[in-house]
A and B are shown apart, each in its own frame.
Chain A
Amino acid sequence: DVKVTQSSRYLVKRTGEKVFLECVQDMDHENMFWYRQDPGLGLRLIYFSYDVKMKEKGDIPEGYSVSREKKERFSLILESASTNQTSMYLCASSLDPGLVDETQYFGPGTRLLVL
């Protein structure tokens, strides 16, 4: 089974802090994604990566950056956390770009509270 893990289930940070969210997948997937999920808004894509050292902006990249130094690890960085970044953050991975099957496998999520 595909396993996607995230470094923390719950995180509390202060405004202005730099925040790192880590995601690791163990199935040699090419694609990795970061979403945030807020009530009534569904899943919104922040950034995604199709390969090591490669990143693409999603729908809401402002205030975030990402890093993919190794294939299995995709990090989301909040350079200076703000209260409107309080949310549930979900990481996902999928097998290969360009395939018709792009089933995404999700991690358990990190619930971030910015005070």
Chain B
Amino acid sequence: GQQVMQIPQYQHVQEGEDFTTYCNSSTTLSNIQWYKQRPGGHPVFLIQLVKSGEVKKQKRLTFQFGEAKKNSSLHITATQTTDVGTYFCAGLLDSNYQLIWGAGTKLIIKP
């Protein structure tokens, strides 16, 4: 079936280093959404990308949607301890408007 592959599963960084997570879909997406889940919390919506090639920024976070609307990335510049958590992408399928979730990338800040 349709899948959204998200990599890496985990990423350990030193505070101040950058972090990137990638999502790839086997089919074209209507939009892609990004969520953050803090340890012990529930997913919280961050942003939605709709247009081909779209780039959006939220402070140190940069979100991109690929030209073919099949892939997306989230990049965090100069990570801080408050960035710790798991980042999920979720793609809305063009065909049936079903939301397909990536497995998430857990960001761990090394002390």
- Chain A contact residues, CB within 8 Å of chain B: 35, 40-45, 59, 90, 92, 97-98, 100-109
Contacts and interface: CB of A to CB of B under 8 A. Distances in A.
Interface string B61-103: 0000000000000000000000000001010100001010111
Contacts of A90: 42-43
Interface of B: 1, 6, 9, 30-31, 33, 41-45, 48, 50, 88, 90, 92, 97, 99, 101-104
Chain B CB within 10 Å — which of A40, A42, A98, A106 has the most? A42
Given A41-B103, A43-B88, A43-B101, A100 B50 contact: yes
Given A42-B6, A104-B99, 8 more contacts: A40-B9, A42-B101, A42-B103, A43-B101, A44-B101, A90-B43, A103-B45, A107-B42
B43 A43 contact: yes
Contacts of A97: 97
B42 A106 contact: yes
A98 B97 contact: yes
A104 B6 contact: no
Q: Decide if the interface of chain B is mainly helix, strand, loop or mixed.
A: strand
Chain A CB within 10 Å — which of B6, B31, B44, B101 has the most? B101
B102 A106 contact: no
Contact of A108 (B33, B42, B90, B101): B42
29 contacts: A40-B103, A42-B88, A42-B101, A42-B102, A42-B103, A43-B88, A43-B104, A44-B101, A59-B1, A92-B43, A97-B97, A98-B97, A100-B31, A100-B50, A101-B31, A102-B33, A102-B92, A102-B97, A102-B99, A103-B45, A103-B48, A104-B43, A104-B45, A104-B90, A104-B99, A105-B45, A106-B43, A107-B42, A108-B41
Given A42-B103, A101-B31, A106 B44 contact: yes
